[in-house]
Amino acid sequence: MGSTPAHGPRLGVWIIGARGSVATTVVVGAAAVAAGLAPPVGCVTELPDFRDAGLTPLGDLVFGGCDITGIPLAKRAEQLVAAGVVPADLPASLQRALAAADREIRPGVGAAAGSQAPQAAAIAGQLADFRERHGLDRVVVVNLASTAPQPDPHPAFTDLAALRAALAGPDPVLPPHALYAYAALGAGCGYVDFTPSGAMRLPALDELARSIGVPYTGNDGKTGETLVRSALAPMFAHRALRVRAWFGTNLLGGGDGATLADPSAAASKNASKARSLTELLPDPVEGQVHIDEVPALGDWKTAWDHIAFDGFLGVRMTMQFTWQGCDSALAAPLVLDLVRLLGRAMARGAVGVQPQFAFFFKDPMGAREHRLVPQYERLLAWTRTPL
Amino acid sequence: MGSTPAHGPRLGVWIIGARGSVATTVVVGAAAVAAGLAPPVGCVTELPDFRDAGLTPLGDLVFGGCDITGIPLAKRAEQLVAAGVVPADLPASLQRALAAADREIRPGVGAAAGSQAPQAAAIAGQLADFRERHGLDRVVVVNLASTAPQPDPHPAFTDLAALRAALAGPDPVLPPHALYAYAALGAGCGYVDFTPSGAMRLPALDELARSIGVPYTGNDGKTGETLVRSALAPMFAHRALRVRAWFGTNLLGGGDGATLADPSAAASKNASKARSLTELLPDPVEGQVHIDEVPALGDWKTAWDHIAFDGFLGVRMTMQFTWQGCDSALAAPLVLDLVRLLGRAMARGAVGVQPQFAFFFKDPMGAREHRLVPQYERLLAWTRTPL
Amino acid sequence: MGSTPAHGPRLGVWIIGARGSVATTVVVGAAAVAAGLAPPVGCVTELPDFRDAGLTPLGDLVFGGCDITGIPLAKRAEQLVAAGVVPADLPASLQRALAAADREIRPGVGAAAGSQAPQAAAIAGQLADFRERHGLDRVVVVNLASTAPQPDPHPAFTDLAALRAALAGPDPVLPPHALYAYAALGAGCGYVDFTPSGAMRLPALDELARSIGVPYTGNDGKTGETLVRSALAPMFAHRALRVRAWFGTNLLGGGDGATLADPSAAASKNASKARSLTELLPDPVEGQVHIDEVPALGDWKTAWDHIAFDGFLGVRMTMQFTWQGCDSALAAPLVLDLVRLLGRAMARGAVGVQPQFAFFFKDPMGAREHRLVPQYERLLAWTRTPL
Amino acid sequence: MGSTPAHGPRLGVWIIGARGSVATTVVVGAAAVAAGLAPPVGCVTELPDFRDAGLTPLGDLVFGGCDITGIPLAKRAEQLVAAGVVPADLPASLQRALAAADREIRPGVGAAAGSQAPQAAAIAGQLADFRERHGLDRVVVVNLASTAPQPDPHPAFTDLAALRAALAGPDPVLPPHALYAYAALGAGCGYVDFTPSGAMRLPALDELARSIGVPYTGNDGKTGETLVRSALAPMFAHRALRVRAWFGTNLLGGGDGATLADPSAAASKNASKARSLTELLPDPVEGQVHIDEVPALGDWKTAWDHIAFDGFLGVRMTMQFTWQGCDSALAAPLVLDLVRLLGRAMARGAVGVQPQFAFFFKDPMGAREHRLVPQYERLLAWTRTPL
């Protein structure tokens, strides 16, 4: 990890929710691929298309972050072995990488009474400390915390000055995940909203990113049902087939299912799923998405979609698909892609929302293109602009 | 049908297999949509994107062709009503259009002993007669005959002069569908190889098209399993997911199933299906496609595909889809699209193979792009070039 | 319809909801099969196994009933033709049968203020009148009205004397469907609770049936997802496979979907679905059933079930099924089966709940056997007992 | 393993193909369940229903057999851990049991030139030796070798005396698996034909079993697609639904897929699959079953079945199912069930074919009942007959 290649300066990755399944898979996976112990399957930025994009090598990423639990990463990795997510031999081979990341994980800040300005300062301090001790050129903060409900509207959300004043006041203003985004941007870090927190949809935070001069992207990583929809729906639209109904059922094991059994969190997720279909199809479509928590599925998820459509002369036809995937294994490589790409955006001096990363998100900020292949082509074109 | 709009001169559509299910649906559908009796669902060239492409209005198409059976189109339309392909009230309302097309269908030429030059001349004569009596600006010939086996190699296939000499000889040289293509091109018609005959893959026919100065396109209309594959496979490729196995089963009712139960005809079809997947995915994939004839399905077809793929760190995942569609209803609007688009190509003086129509074909001639959305974008860009 | 065979005396069928899709299909279907215009597909009692059971021939059934709408059956039949449920040529051929049933349909009683005793008397009068004018030996009343929510508990529900007293009082006591059951039993009719009304679960109505000496059966016809479950679940149980999760999604078009979008009606339906799985499997199972209304599906319904189970040594496996059926066509022949069978039970002097008909119900009253094949064997054995 | 309970005398299990995936899972699983390290999921004879059947406890089974490869069972078990079939911690805990079985596996006899009488004698000698050294009351021989093609007809197959004479002659007569059956029966062992060898369909071998006085059962363990079919098909039959087409596609990884890519072996398997459907449904059905080898699936298999059926008034409906299971984990517990049950049959002095075990087989010998639940009920009734 010592050498710094020309186009790959040292990049810090600071994860909110750093002991979760996805985060653990991120740390294990980056180390395994860098060490040649696993092929870079699932990692978009390791495709030949990205060879000359000047991205930080996976082995040069430095991991840290925060979490409200204290279970060691090595133990979390063993749990992922038992769950079939991580190959049995990896944790032992990667002890050093896991221990290094473990040392850089701080206790997370939760919802609490009192003024939030000191909390924000503490987080910013952790980030500055992380950067300095490792001599990092840049730090990207990634939100991998559980899906959070949308915060209730607040006048301070629309204006940065108002937000700063409110944070200095006696009462909490921002939900925890948005406080992290506030602190991260303020500390000059890039920010990736990978879980559907909606924090970066607050105008005050966008204003902050622009005033500080840092880029951000989001939100809600596109890893399963919506990924397939963004590949399939253009087929119906471009073939002039009239989709009448598009229903989906998602069976989720693990933590994500449990979180989404809470209707207000699910609402956040469902909104981004529905938005996607509306953008992809020309006509209104009957449809609903169910999310069920199924602990028996472990880290796996199953999505089933039923599509009823009309063909020529109104003939009714149907299509269905089933997707059985491992959530952490689908999400983790995208996190690696995004931190490397946002690192490149920072190197290019990019500021504010970065729509060229829409390819990775259910509900891409700053972009209206939801079709998967054009999203890919746009991403690729951007990586070919000079650094 | 009398008025001729500025960009829509009268266009003849001469169908090989003009009494088949697809052809009947083409004639019924064009008339129904032109009369406002059915919405243009499934018709790509009726999308708003194509409004300014200067295509011949559906109501200005003049239909004719040939078939080896003599069942009247009106009766075929009734059969399609019983099969659920055509709404019950349409045939009665469209009697005039059906009768008009019926009058222009000639007995088809089959395989026979003896020299083929007179047969070719007879077909060319039918085409000239069709054009003259209707005052057509252009004629497009569409092959909708049953899937044919690839012809055995013959030295005359590679060179136009040799082919002409061979046709003048005492023995048959070309299979019937290729003889039609030869006659059509020679008569100055555009040619669409919608069924996978492979005729236009004979270098002598390509030479003929270029020497006469007419455009052609093909082959094998992309209406079901391969359509979905061309939308889905890029998702795996662009997300760096490693597809290990992709198997398909096709249950086909009606005539197509029966034809494809003949292994040599099926080979032709399977070859185009397999080619598509190879082009779409970066790595070799285990896979096979089964085609079963299932008369009980009537005009419907069901495809089931099973995809086994590896995600991050080698985790095994699966995806499956089921497609239940009506074959004639899927194919017919594409035929209308293609004749209108090839008519436009003729108006622009296009010559030889037309790769911009790859969007419509399982095995597009002249194009290596198999991804559906880029195919659509290319088609659209072409329609925006001036006439 | 005039002759009365030895074991088939004239049987009246009085349908609550007599103008609904299922009821219309019942009347059309009985007439079509009796006239030899359609094969008896879907009709269990037309299987060879039932040849000697002494059931009333389909042509000897006399239909009547009530409905809150007044649309003529002939028009309803035309709507079912358009929906693809009834073959296009049948309604014209069966005009006489449709008109005959139409004349016997009375306006239905809905929820209203005031004492219910007069309403009950009026219904009983209609039934007596129907029986007399047609010289019927027996009348079976079938509830095909929309799924109703369970009534709130009421002290009068547990005791017949208390119920009679309450009905004579000034306020409504019973929901409409239960009032019909009360009147039907009181008038000496057999009663089939085909929609999940739960009326016959009121102890006072069971007491009434027993005191009058009439048989009844129910409830909730088993036509789709639960039918498949009752065939499949024993496979897991008898093979000692441990089902961990069994989730289902139901997409329903037409009226049933709309009704079940009302959570309290859906609760009634879901309760019977869940009860079935609990009886069929030895261990508790994670699971939920979603019901979505999808008007685009018309009279069709699609069920998708996902089953996660453990095999030997805890290996995780999955099974899924999709069921795409036409609701009215699935329900109607079972209604014909049940009225014929309940007619036979009446002929044998059977009284109270009839558990031998569990084969037809999601939530069979009086029976704990939910496995489909043993239910069939029990039914068959009963039909072999002497009349 | 020392104590011998009243109804469970020591039972030897001698496996043909003793180092295969199924056999290894049998040995691991019996030991794991006996030691309380795994629950008896998938083991029918461990259900409460079988508690009083007097079966040999799993821990009292003594394993041996033959195989043409020499890879130690411990290594095979590790391979099954890597394949996800066996939990990671089991092989180490069960070293003793694996080593004990390993010591009792002899080199297998393959196809060779020359007389087969000495080979048969050698096998019989191995079996006698196995029985004596372990003081076994009874030995059951189980065929778990790869699916074999049906032998070509031979006059010696129909008569035991002729077979004995032919075996004494200079040329091979029986295929290897049938030679094992011959030797096993001759040595007084019970015989289970778990792979579809068809050996016991040779009349001479049936005669041998009867003359020696030993029971046998088979063939072709029902573990996936056919298992589901035998649960589902009665639903269509008993509900009078007319199945028009029933097609299946099987994707098999591992050894079984490779074997079945050989058309003559596949023919043997397909015949038993087809026979099952014919017995289960009253009318002829269009249908075919494809078997594909998909090494990427490892030890897993996926079956997809598509069923097109007619409902009332001829309305067309469809059902589909997908089954994703682990082959060895599905087969192994059935092997344990069968040896215990055949041991019980031997204790009762049963002779010849044992139709009460039809529950376990695709193509049950001696029984025409293919419906799963009645097969279970018959098995259960038999276990309640006194020993």
User: For D277-333, what is each residue's pLDDT tens digit?
Assistant: 889 999 999 888 889 888 888 889 999 999 999 999 999 999 999 999 999 999 999
Residues of C in contact with D40 (CB under 8 A): 240
Mean pLDDT of chain C: 92
Quote the minimal CA–CA distance from D260 to chain C in Å.
23
In this predicted structure, the answer to whether residue B266 has a pLDDT above a threshold of 80 is no
Q: C6: closest CA among C282, C347, C361?
A: C347
Mean pLDDT of chain D: 92
Q: What percent of chain C has pLDDT over 70?
A: 93
The mean pLDDT value for C184-192 works out to 98
Q: B334: closest CA among B47, B94, B34?
A: B47
| Residue C2 confidence (pLDDT) | 39
Give the closest of D29, D41, D323 to C310, CB-based.
Answer: D41
The mean pLDDT value for D2-29 works out to 82
| Residue C260 confidence (pLDDT) | 62
pLDDT digits (tens, 9 = 90+) for B155-166: 999 999 999 999
Last residue of a domain, one of C310, C326, C342: C326
Considering the domain architecture, whether residues C179 and C232 belong to the same structural domain is answered as: no
Considering the domain architecture, whether residues B157 and B197 belong to the same structural domain is answered as: yes
The mean pLDDT value for C228-238 works out to 97
Is residue D244 included in any domain, yes or no?
A: yes
Q: Write down how long chain D is.
A: 387
Interchain pair B313, A376: CB under 8 A: no
Count other Cβ atoms within 10 Å, centred on residue A92. 12
In this predicted structure, the answer to whether residue C261 has a pLDDT above a threshold of 90 is no
Considering the domain architecture, whether residues B241 and B202 belong to the same structural domain is answered as: no
In this predicted structure, the answer to whether residue B114 has a pLDDT above a threshold of 90 is no
| Residue D385 confidence (pLDDT) | 92
Interchain pair B374, A377: CB under 8 A: yes
Considering the domain architecture, whether residues D90 and D208 belong to the same structural domain is answered as: yes
Please state, in angstroms and rounded to a whole number, the distance separating the CA atoms of residues C173 and C151: 9
Residues with Cβ within 8 Å of residue A270, at least 6 apart in sequence: A289, A291
Please state, in angstroms and rounded to a whole number, the distance separating the CA atoms of residues C175 and D13: 65
Give the closest of D251, D298, D318 to B247, CB-based.
Answer: D251
CA angle (D316 as vertex; D311, D320 as ends), nearest 5: 95
Mean pLDDT of chain B: 92
Residues of A in contact with B376 (CB under 8 A): 234, 238
The mean pLDDT value for A180-195 works out to 97
Give the closest of B38, B321, B373 to A374, CB-based.
Answer: B373
**What ranges make up the beta strands (E) of chain B?**
11-16, 61-67, 105-107, 138-143, 190-193, 215-218, 242-252, 289-293, 300-310, 316-326, 352-353
Quote the minimal CA–CA distance from D375 to chain C in Å.
10
The mean pLDDT value for C280-287 works out to 91
Considering the domain architecture, whether residues B368 and B321 belong to the same structural domain is answered as: no
Is residue D188 included in any domain, yes or no?
A: yes
Interchain pair A232, B228: CB under 8 A: yes
Last residue of a domain, one of C304, C326, C348: C326
Mean pLDDT lowest among B77-91, B318-332, C333-347? B77-91
Q: Are C53 and C383 in contact (CB under 8 A)?
A: yes
pLDDT confidence of C268, banded at 50, 70, 90? low
Q: In 3-state terms, what secondary structure has residue B275?
A: helix
Considering the domain architecture, whether residues B87 and B191 belong to the same structural domain is answered as: yes
| Residue A147 confidence (pLDDT) | 79
| Residue D89 confidence (pLDDT) | 87
| Residue D269 confidence (pLDDT) | 66
Test mutation, D27, D28, D239, chain C, max C CBs within 10 A? D239
Most confident by average pLDDT, B368-372, C106-110, C284-288:
B368-372
Is residue A4 included in any domain, yes or no?
A: no
CA angle (D44 as vertex; D39, D48 as ends), nearest 5: 75
Residues with Cβ within 8 Å of residue C107, at least 6 apart in sequence: C66, C67, C68, C70
Mean pLDDT lowest among A10-24, B94-108, B279-293, C36-50? B279-293
Please state, in angstroms and rounded to a whole number, the distance separating the CA atoms of residues B280 and A103: 44
| Residue A1 confidence (pLDDT) | 38
Quote the minimal CA–CA distance from A305 to chain C in Å.
10
Is residue D140 included in any domain, yes or no?
A: yes
Q: What percent of chain A has pLDDT over 90?
A: 79
Interchain pair D310, C90: CB under 8 A: no
Quote the minimal CA–CA distance from D95 to chain C in Å.
17
Interchain pair B84, C88: CB under 8 A: no
Structural domain including C235 reads 225-326
Give the closest of D84, D322, D324 to A84, CB-based.
Answer: D84
Mean pLDDT lowest among A25-29, B151-155, C57-61, C128-132? B151-155
Mean pLDDT lowest among A59-73, B104-118, B257-271, C165-179? B257-271
pLDDT digits (tens, 9 = 90+) for B229-244: 999 999 999 999 999 9
Last residue of a domain, one of B283, B303, B327: B327
Q: What percent of chain D has pLDDT over 70?
A: 93
In this predicted structure, the answer to whether residue C286 has a pLDDT above a threshold of 50 is yes
| Residue A111 confidence (pLDDT) | 75
**Per the structure, how many domains does chain B have?**
2
Considering the domain architecture, whether residues B165 and B235 belong to the same structural domain is answered as: no
Counting beta carbons within 10 angstroms of the beta carbon of residue A187, is it exposed (0 to 12), middle (13 to 18) or buried (19 or more)? buried
Is residue B76 included in any domain, yes or no?
A: yes
In this predicted structure, the answer to whether residue B2 has a pLDDT above a threshold of 70 is no
Please state, in angstroms and rounded to a whole number, the distance separating the CA atoms of residues B136 and B158: 32
In this predicted structure, the answer to whether residue C4 has a pLDDT above a threshold of 50 is no
Considering the domain architecture, whether residues A280 and A373 belong to the same structural domain is answered as: no
Residues of B in contact with D244 (CB under 8 A): 296
pLDDT confidence of B152, banded at 50, 70, 90? confident
| Residue D1 confidence (pLDDT) | 38
The mean pLDDT value for D72-83 works out to 94
DSSP letter string over A58-95? Answer: GGGEEEEEEES----HHHHHHHHHHTTSS-TTHHHHTH
Interchain pair C319, D320: CB under 8 A: no
Q: Which residue has the higher pLDDT, B215 or B6?
A: B215
pLDDT digits (tens, 9 = 90+) for A282-341: 999 988 888 988 888 888 999 999 999 999 999 999 999 999 999 999 999 999 999 999
In this predicted structure, the answer to whether residue D8 has a pLDDT above a threshold of 70 is no
Q: In 3-state terms, what secondary structure has residue B10?
A: coil
| Residue C266 confidence (pLDDT) | 67
In this predicted structure, the answer to whether residue B254 has a pLDDT above a threshold of 80 is no
Kindly tell me the number of DSSP H helices and DSSP E strands found in chain D.
13, 11
pLDDT confidence of A11, banded at 50, 70, 90? very high
Is residue C377 included in any domain, yes or no?
A: yes
Is residue B4 included in any domain, yes or no?
A: no
| Residue B1 confidence (pLDDT) | 38
DSSP letter string over D117-186? Answer: HHHHHHHHHHHHHHHHHHT-SEEEEEE-SPP-PPPPP-GGGG-HHHHHHHHHSSS--S-HHHHHHHHHHH
In this predicted structure, the answer to whether residue A241 has a pLDDT above a threshold of 80 is yes
Give the closest of C88, C322, C324 to B88, CB-based.
Answer: C88
Considering the domain architecture, whether residues C342 and C377 belong to the same structural domain is answered as: yes
| Residue B6 confidence (pLDDT) | 44
The number of CA neighbours under 13 Å toward the Cβ of C330 is: 26
Quote the minimal CA–CA distance from B95 to chain D in Å.
29
pLDDT confidence of A264, banded at 50, 70, 90? low
CATH number reported for the structural domain that contains residue A288 in this entry: 3.30.360.10
In this predicted structure, the answer to whether residue D219 has a pLDDT above a threshold of 50 is yes
Considering the domain architecture, whether residues C242 and C181 belong to the same structural domain is answered as: no
| Residue C6 confidence (pLDDT) | 44
| Residue B5 confidence (pLDDT) | 43
| Residue C262 confidence (pLDDT) | 64
Pick the residue from chain D with its C-alpha nearest to C244: D41
Residues of B in contact with C84 (CB under 8 A): 84
Interchain pair D333, C359: CB under 8 A: no
Binding partners of A (≥3 Cβ pairs within 8 A): B, C, D
pLDDT confidence of C259, banded at 50, 70, 90? low
Q: Are C11 and C138 in contact (CB under 8 A)?
A: yes
Considering the domain architecture, whether residues C37 and C89 belong to the same structural domain is answered as: yes
Q: A266: closest CA among A280, A251, A279, A256?
A: A256
The mean pLDDT value for B312-329 works out to 96
Pick the residue from chain B with its C-alpha nearest to D253: B245
Binding partners of C (≥3 Cβ pairs within 8 A): A, B, D
Pick the residue from chain D with its C-alpha nearest to B244: D296
Location of structure tokens 């002039």? A240
Considering the domain architecture, whether residues A322 and A337 belong to the same structural domain is answered as: no
Interchain pair D84, A88: CB under 8 A: no
Pick the residue from chain B with its C-alpha nearest to D244: B296
Residues of B in contact with C322 (CB under 8 A): 322
- The DSSP 8-state label assigned to residue B326 in this structure reads E
In this predicted structure, the answer to whether residue A7 has a pLDDT above a threshold of 50 is no
Give the closest of C288, C296, C316 to A292, CB-based.
Answer: C288
The mean pLDDT value for B107-118 works out to 86
Pick the residue from chain A with its C-alpha nearest to D87: A82
pLDDT confidence of D190, banded at 50, 70, 90? very high
The mean pLDDT value for C371-383 works out to 97
Q: B295: closest CA among D308, C242, A94, D196?
A: D308
pLDDT digits (tens, 9 = 90+) for D243-271: 999 999 999 987 655 666 666 666 666 77
Is residue B352 included in any domain, yes or no?
A: yes
Q: D303: closest CA among D236, D246, D358?
A: D246
CATH number reported for the structural domain that contains residue B89 in this entry: 3.40.50.720
pLDDT confidence of B347, banded at 50, 70, 90? very high
pLDDT confidence of D68, banded at 50, 70, 90? very high
pLDDT confidence of D198, banded at 50, 70, 90? confident
